[in-house]
Amino acid sequence: MARQPTATKTVSAGSSVLPRHLSPPLCLMAIASLSPRELAHDVLLRGGDRRQIPTRLLDEQLAQCQLTPGQRGQATDLVHGVVRRQPTLDLILRQFLRRPLPQVEAGALVWLRLAAWELLFSATPSYAVLNETAEAVKRQGQPQWTGFLNGVLRSLTRDLTDQQVFQPAANALPLDSGNYRVLQSSPFPDPQTDPQGYFRDAFSFPEWLVARWAGRVESPRLLRLGFWFNTPPRPTLRVNPLITTRDALLERLQQQGIAAEPGQHPHAIRLGQSARITALPGFDEGWFAVQDESAMEAATRLAPQPGERILDLCAAPGGKTLHLAALMQNQGQIIAADSDERRLKQVADSARRLHTSIITCETIPADTSRLPAGPFDAVLLDVPCSNTGVLGKRPEVRWRLTPRDLVELPQIQSRLLNAALRVVRPGGRLLYSTCSIEPEENGKLIQAALKRHRQLRLVEERLHWPGEPVDGGYQALLHVAPVRT
């Protein structure tokens, strides 16, 4: 279970008061009639409340809308794009505003960000962006905004060029394709004299996080990391070998005109673009689950065997649990334990869909004062973490994470590791896993555990650096020494 941190900060500007036509909650009929731009505007405006997470609001509203796959993709790109790049958008927009950004009405500011994102990063023609924005604003009942929005956005279009370069510069905007778009203005720090400042402003990351990464990697690798996290992720499917093969699923997807290719992991299929997963062929039959390739390595590295008794601690929502069952050929016993009863239900539902019968779900207290009865041949411990290895898939995390989280999370992770070791049999093994790239949650924590627990031996560890070639994460396989007689 890799949770999103409970950090307290979000990036917002302008008033938090919602216009009357957007006062919550929207009725289902109103949501269903929204265009992709209007839906994105509604989500981002509500997401300005730090208690809300825009990507979750988007998922909730998409479930209520009758949109085509293309429209759903457009709404998703708009929301995720603005959440990822909001500081960069604001930095560029400030050049064309006659008043401070916080003095712009909240609803108008969201429209500026949406249109600016399309103008800067999408292939939509500029005239279409301006026309559609003006029409959407009128439909919202805010015609008084159209002149202001049109003036700012026309100024922005005059700042754009069609020229692309391959090196950072003060006037070079990083795209999501590895290239840079040349602007007439120079809104960013000079990357030669202030490389961290350029990365912070041009790629949109908090300064403290940039400083951490820049202290560990050279500038070219840091730039590649920024491109990876700002490029919309391609969904990855993990084939269910209990039902089918990768070749069979690839053939079925291609028959339906869905672009797909084999991944690096032997069970992985990479889709060519985002898709509504539940509508893909084979979903209802349990042919696949959705899982990152780096996450697939966790169960593979633990190497569960048919007939073993396995504990998956912090199991929800169950991706690794189900992979364990497949590797065990649905023979043996898996206890999926988690403190979140609601999310454990997702594990049970997915187990039924994937035709897995060896998984038993068990709710445990969050303080791990009670664990499922051991001993277990092996434990998979996928701890709550900062998610810094998967920021591309979780765009809001970069703004919600704080330095304090990287103090508090390792304490939770150490407690969970100590608890898990209590139920591993002598001679058994434990796989510690995160989707973080921070040393405090990974190698440093494991080295501290090895000093505390002399019966432990580190068999192997692996840090997946984001984009090389998949999402980031860490796994450490630990062996518990047998009792000497």
Cite the active site residues: 435
The number of beta carbons lying within 10 Å of the beta carbon of residue 220 is 8
Q: What is d(CA 266, CA 246) in angstroms, rounded to the nearest whole number?
A: 8
Is residue 313 a contact partner of residue 289, using CB atoms and an 8 Å limit? no
Per-residue b or e along 401-438, where b marks 16 or more CB atoms closer than 10 Å to that residue's CB: bbeebbeebbebbbebbebbbebbbeebbbbbbbbbbb
- Distance, in Å, from the CA atom of 87 to the CA atom of 251, rounded to the nearest integer, reads 43
DSSP 169-218: -TTEEE-SSS-EEEESS--S--TTT-HHHHHHHHHT--HHHHHHHHTTS-
Q: Are 119 and 154 in contact (CB under 8 A)?
A: no
Q: Which of 251, 233, 377 is nearest to 294 (CA)?
A: 233
- Edge-to-edge strands, sheet with 160-165: 160-165, 180-183, 172-174
- Picking from 41, 33, 42, 31, the residue whose alpha carbon sits closest to that of residue 115 is 41
Compute the distance between CA of residue 357 and CA of residue 185 in angstroms, rounded to an integer. 61
Scanning 94-125, the segments in alpha helix (DSSP H) are 106-121
Do 322 and 431 form a contact (C-beta atoms < 8 A)?
no
* Cα–Cα distances in angstroms (integers) from residue 12 to residues 83, 86, 102, in the given order: 10, 9, 9
